[in-house]
Amino acid sequence: MILLAILIGTVAAGVGSVWLAALLGFAMMARFTQHMLSLAAGALMATAFMHLLPEAFESEASAHELFALLLAGLVFFFLLDKAELWHHGHEHRQEEHDHDAHHGHHHHHHEARSGGWTVLAGDSVHAFGDGILIASAFMADMRLGVIAALAVMAHEVPHHMGDLVVLRQTSSTTRAALIKVSLAGTVTALGGLVGYFLLTRLEDYLPYFLVAASSSFVYVALADLIPQLQKRVGLRATVAQIGWLLAGIGLVTFVSGLAHSSH
């Protein structure tokens, strides 16, 4: 039952986020991207601080070791970010696009092609890690797994919107770009399977997996999503950002409350 839930959750997060990104991308991309960034940031922080970390610290694991792992996780994801493996910088891609525009179509096509493979490689690594994190959440509690899967889906949507833009330049059709990114998203399910079979043998280490998941969520929210929201905008846009951020926190808090009341 747990394995089936992990597979459903990882496929929904990995592939569902791609299709939702495509849907929003074809609709009102600029407007909805900001809203999704705010919602995802709130959901990720709330999931980490109000559910994953409390679940880990309620175990018999040493608090000192868990905090040390949280710190190590943040540094680790920072290093992965520097290597452009965990989540690739969309600002850098845009700079490449602007630079290529001044150096002819052939050079632009070559850069776009290599950039497309970089996107797919980065997506696959990211998706595998997300699958393990979602599996660890499901192993701790079924509702916690659902929350983690939804949080992953929310923060992947803005990234996949940028990925589809890049892949559209290297693919013959929009459908081909969508299929490529979707296939990369299916690696989430592979990560979920590995996480499940790993944790069934290392059940005592579950609190450490939960802290690792928390460090990922906190890093993505504070280092990637929120900085994109700190641009100078008008009062109405600022209020909307805060509203969607609080909505993300409120949604996770509500589901978290349901989970605790059921125990």
pLDDT digits (tens, 9 = 90+) for 101-156: 444 444 444 434 444 566 677 677 778 888 988 998 898 888 888 888 888 887 77
* Pure H helices in the chain: 2-14, 16-26, 29-47, 53-57, 63-82, 90-100, 104-140, 142-170, 174-185, 187-201, 206-219, 226-229, 235-262
pLDDT digits (tens, 9 = 90+) for 12-54: 988 988 888 888 766 555 556 677 778 778 888 888 888 788 8
Residue 40 is assigned to a structural domain of this protein? yes
Which amino acid is residue 69, in one-letter code? L
| 62: region left, alpha or beta (phi > 0 left; psi from -120 to 50 alpha) | beta
* Token code pair at residue 46: 């709330």
Share of the chain above pLDDT 70, in %: 76
HSE, side-chain direction, 13 A CA sphere, residue 101: 6
203 DSSP 8-state letter: G
Residue position matching structure tokens 């290392």: 202
User: Does the pLDDT of residue 90 top 50, yes or no?
Assistant: no
Residues 106-123: b if buried by 16+ CB within 10 A, e if exposed: eebeebbeebbeebbebb
Instruction: Say if residues 102 and 67 touch (Cβ distance below 8 Å).
Output: no
Q: Confidence class of residue 190 from pLDDT cuts 50, 70 and 90?
A: very high
- Tokens representing 132 are 């393990």
Question: Does the pLDDT at position 89 exceed 60?
Answer: no
In a domain, 109, yes or no: yes
**How many domains, the chain?**
1
| Single-letter amino acid, residue 246 | L
Domain holding 181, by residue range, is: 2-256
**pTM, rounded to two decimals:** 0.64
Residue 263 belongs to a domain? no
> Helix crossing, 90-100 with 142-170: angle to 10°?
0
